Structures are given as C-alpha cells and as structure tokens.
Amino acid sequence: MMVISLDLTELNQQLSEFGLEALFLPVEELKPYDNNPNNHTEESYSSIAQSIEAYGFKSVILVDNDNEIIYGHGRLVGAIRNGLKFVPVLRALNLSKLQAQAFRIADNYTAKKSDFNLVRLVSELDSLVSEGFDIQHTGFNLIDLESARLKLDDLLSDSQDTDSPSTQGSYSPEDPITYNLTFRTEADQEDWFTFLAYIAGRYPEQPNISSRICTFIEETDLNTECLCRDLSEDI
C-alpha cells in the first residue's frame, strides 16, 4: 500500500483548539455509518462524482475517533468513483459516539433548511451559461435554470400586481412549476430548454421569456403570422 507522509503538526496544533485533527487517509480506512439517516440516490452519487471530477476533491470528510464517517458519505463514494486512493479528512476528537450520532442528523437537517435567493441564483447561473460553462457541474441543469426563471417571472408578475416586491423569494429544484407545453420526445424538451437558455444569454435586458422570444423573432425576421398559425395547428 502506498503511504503518503505529510507533516501536519503545526496545522493540527491550531486545529486542536477546535477539537479537530487533519489527516490524509486511504479510502479503505474510512467506515461508512451503517444507519446513516441521509438517503443518497444514484443521481446524487453521480452528481457528487461529477463535481469531484470537475473541481477536484474540495470538501473534507468528517470522522470520529474510529474513522467512522459523521458527514461525507457521498464524498467518499464520489472519491472512489474518481479513482482516488487517499482523501483529506478531519477527525472530531472531542465528540462521543452519542454526540456524533446527533451531529450527523443535525448537519444533514440544517443543510436542507437553507435555500437559494432566487434573483441571485438565476443571475449567477446565467453568468456561467453566458461564459460557456456547463452548469451541470453546479448540481443544476438547463431545465432547473428555466424552472427558476419561470418562478422568478411569476414572482415579478405577482409583485407588480400587489405592489409588494417579492423577487427575493427562495428557490429549490423541488419547487412545483406548471408548464403548458407538451413535447413529443425528451430530445425535443431538451432542445426547447436549450433555446430558452440561449435567448436568456442573448437578451439579458429582457425581463421575461415572452419578451425574449419576441425579440428573437423580430431580429431573425420570422413571419410571426405564419409562425403562430403553424403553432396553433400543431397544438
């Protein structure tokens, strides 16, 4: 077995004040907690693995004194899928088994209670898309982005109706969004959302999807009367 030797003495002297120790351990020495209450799906494992592939291993795994994982089960799986043999680890020196058990729940629960500022989320994702960045590496995809935009458009519309701004609303990918479109295939659906992402990047000054589409039609000199007739016949 390859052994990596690092001098972490000075760092650990400082970390000891917080009840922590920094380690660089082989993945096989880490012990997943059998009764981990945080459910991971194949989709979440895949997303974590893709994130590690895109950015490297940037988040540590927290373990107890027996190297049993407190948080970071998904990161361990992602590291293994990326062929990593060693990972950075923090050991909680001052937690009992009972405290580790409670903290495992608290860490997962408090993370799930946070959400996104919708205006800032859309702005950040739009910025990444405009630079040609694949936003799937953020955990969101183009469909998520359009869902967030649609909700933001609704919030803007509601705030105009009520004269009470609500555009600072929160967003989670699980928020329900109602669509009035039917697609023949998944490829058609992906093409539609790719188009919406494209016009969002091309016309950032336009406040909503309909105005972006109208601007696109005007600029590309499409026959709007013919287009509307074709769409109505298709429906």
Pick from 71-85, 94-108, 184-198 the range whose average pLDDT is largest. 71-85
C-alpha pair distances (Å), 23 with each of 41, 66, 96: 28, 13, 19
Burial 152-170 (b: 16+ CB within 10 A, else e): bbebbeeeeeeeeeeeebe
- pLDDT tens digits along 193-220: 788 878 877 887 776 777 778 788 878 7
Predicted confidence band of residue 60 (pLDDT cuts 50, 70, 90): very high
pLDDT attached to residue 181: 67
Parent domain of 141: 116-234
Q: 172 and 105, same structural domain? A: no
For residues 129 and 145, is the Cβ–Cβ distance under 8 A? yes
Q: What is the mean pLDDT of residues 53-67?
A: 93
Please say if the pLDDT value at position 28 is more than 90. yes
Q: What gap in Å lies between CA 152 and CA 147, rounded to an integer? A: 9
Structure tokens at 50: 């893709």
Q: 121 and 100, same structural domain? A: no
Q: 196 and 91, same structural domain? A: no
pTM confidence score: 0.59
pLDDT attached to residue 44: 87
Q: 177 and 78, same structural domain? A: no
Give 65 or 210, the one with higher predicted confidence.
65
Number of domains, the chain:
2
Q: 109 and 13, same structural domain? A: yes
| 3-state SS assignment for residue 111 | helix
